[in-house]
């Protein structure tokens, strides 16, 4: 179980965003990470003005989040 952060949004809030994110790139293979987790990691990064490497470890790897 992951910690809750001030920057988090609920899955219900994420549903409209997910449709836009999935339509950006053609799906050629199944994703290994949940876009919801990636989006929460990016929100954390923006809210706390930290560097990629300083993101908490309960988010996906910073390299993967940065790729997305």
Domain spans of the chain, in order of start:
11-24+31-67
Which pLDDT belongs to residue 2?
A: 76
Q: In the 3-class helix/strand/coil scheme, how is 27-50 assigned residue by residue?
A: CCCCCCCCHHHHHHHHHHHHHHCC
Which pLDDT belongs to residue 1?
A: 66
- Distances, alpha carbon 1 to alpha carbons 16, 46, 58, 59, in Å: 24, 22, 9, 11
In this structure, are residues 65 and 38 in contact, taking their beta carbons and an 8 Å threshold?
yes
Q: What is the pLDDT of residues 10-54, one digit of tens each?
A: 999 999 999 888 877 776 778 888 999 999 999 999 999 989 999
């Amino acid at each position: 179980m992951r910690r809750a952060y001030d920057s988090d949004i609920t899955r219900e809030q994420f549903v409209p965003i997910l449709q836009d994110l999935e339509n950006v790139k053609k799906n050629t293979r199944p994703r290994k990470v949940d876009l919801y987790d990636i989006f929460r990691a990016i929100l954390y990064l923006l809210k706390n003005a930290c560097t990629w490497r300083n993101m908490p470890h309960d988010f996906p790897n910073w390299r993967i989040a940065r790729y997305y």
